[in-house]
Structure 1
């Protein structure tokens, strides 16, 4: 790797001169003097220790090395321009960055976002999902809603909802020879057994899922029986894609919220949290 990079201005000057075939035209395009362009090219050639242009009077043409560098430089400058333009999203005046798990986003939040947007159309919501818990002190996140978080520095921490779990499968799944779908943490059948859950025919072998959202979808697709979240699975039950196998419920994950201290007085964050708490109000038992 290079210990020192050539100056960006020299690369811009080289690209303009190479593209336009003239130091004079490059100087006009970049609002510089021709001598400044010439100096940039000379410094770049000195740095690379080889010529980039053939010079004949006032006309110039690229050497083989110049042609090679031109394609690299144009790709670099284009990528840099795209990256800089992308930063505009961080300057949106009403932006609210919300982090959550893919499962919560897909199965609970996404079906309800239309309601939030209708109530608060001025909030420019950026939904950022991740399997890993974010570091709120270093990442640009206003608030996080997850079932795998605890208190963090520079944040307020609030418990939002105590979930419950129950075994379920697709209504059309035959009772004989049902495949057992296994999840992680609370969605593992060992948790159901430790909490005193009844035997519903679960087996130790079967299909295994690290993502609770995929586990839920697999059950809804009729792949087998799974221990599912009452919060995340309610929509699939209402749609007739899931049928509880027991009236019993056991303790599930705790859904909590972290709000960065810089966002605690932000009216956008307050609007979202108020809507979230209202939407998370317990529904009637199944």
Structure 2
């Protein structure tokens, strides 16, 4: 591997000259003199210790090495240009960065984002969903809404909602005896052992079956008729409303607590306050 990279300016000069087939045209495009382009090419060739162009008077043509380097250089410059343009998203004056779990983003937040946009059209919400709890002190995140949060330095912490869990399945499975229904297994509170201890009701759950680490996928699988599952009351509101999910019993048990972390730099941000108020109001709406 090269210990030192050639100057970026020489690669830009080379790419323009190779693409246009002319040092003069490259100089015009880059607002340089032709001698400056020639010097850049000579410097790059000296660095690589091989010629990149055949020179015949004012006309130039790429050597085999030049053709090889051109494809690499164009890919590099294109990737660099895209990366630099992408940095513009960090400069949006009305941007609000929210971290949450994929399950909450897909099953609770997404169905309600239209309402948020109607109420706060000026907020550029950046939804950053991760399985891992973010480190708010080192990541550029204004707010985090998750069911696996604890207090962090430089952040305010507030419990927003105490979730409830219940066993459910697709309506098509209700005609089957409980022992014949496939069982879907989740993690943490959504493991059936939690139901057995808290509720003590046998709904035909079996020890074997499909296993899911993501409660959102667990809910999707139940709605698709793959089996019965212990699901979140908060996340399943839409599935219950559209008829793709039916409770097996009326009993519910305690689930995880959904909490809000707000970075101290965002506590007085009007955008963050607007989202927090909207979030609290919607979480308090009967599910």
Distance of 1:258 and 1:247 partners within structure 2: 32
Distance of 1:196 and 1:252 partners within structure 2: 12
Aligned length: 284
Say yes or no: does 1:193 pair with 2:200: no
Q: TM-score, normalised by structure 1?
A: 0.95
Report if the CA contact (8 A) 1:100-1:128 is conserved: yes
Q: CA RMSD in A?
A: 1.4
Aligned to 2:3, the other structure's residue is in SS state coil
> Matches of residues 39-118 of structure 1 in structure 2 within 5 Å?
39-118=39-118
Distance of 1:63 and 1:172 partners within structure 2: 69
Residue number in structure 2 paired with 1:154 = 154
Residue number in structure 1 paired with 2:17 = 17
Structure 2 counterpart of 1:220, from 215, 220, 223: 223
Distance of 1:272 and 1:212 partners within structure 2: 24
Report if the CA contact (8 A) 1:97-1:126 is conserved: yes
Distance of 2:196 and 2:73 partners within structure 1: 62
Measured after TM superposition, the shift of residue 138 of structure 1 is 2.1
> Matches of residues 192-211 of structure 1 in structure 2 within 5 Å?
192-211=195-214
Measured after TM superposition, the shift of residue 116 of structure 1 is 0.7
Measured after TM superposition, the shift of residue 175 of structure 1 is 3.0
Residue number in structure 2 paired with 1:234 = 237
Aligned to 2:12, the other structure's residue is in SS state helix
Aligned to 1:135, the other structure's residue is in SS state coil
Distance of 1:29 and 1:59 partners within structure 2: 17
Measured after TM superposition, the shift of residue 108 of structure 1 is 0.6
Residue number in structure 2 paired with 1:254 = 257
Residue number in structure 2 paired with 1:175 = 176
Residue number in structure 2 paired with 1:138 = 138
Distance of 1:37 and 1:152 partners within structure 2: 54
Report if the CA contact (8 A) 2:181-2:228 is conserved: yes
Measured after TM superposition, the shift of residue 2 of structure 1 is 2.4
Report if the CA contact (8 A) 1:165-1:227 is conserved: yes
Report if the CA contact (8 A) 1:167-1:227 is conserved: yes
Measured after TM superposition, the shift of residue 68 of structure 1 is 0.9
Q: TM-score, normalised by structure 2?
A: 0.95
Cα-to-partner distance string for 1:14-61 (whole Å, 9 max, x where unaligned): 111111222222112111122221221111111111111112233222
Measured after TM superposition, the shift of residue 196 of structure 1 is 3.5
Report if the CA contact (8 A) 2:10-2:40 is conserved: yes
Distance of 2:270 and 2:121 partners within structure 1: 13
Aligned to 1:96, the other structure's residue is in SS state strand
Cα-to-partner distance string for 1:212-250 (whole Å, 9 max, x where unaligned): 111111111222111010111122112222221222221
Report if the CA contact (8 A) 2:199-2:251 is conserved: no
Measured after TM superposition, the shift of residue 282 of structure 1 is 5.1
Structure 1, unpaired ranges of 5+: none
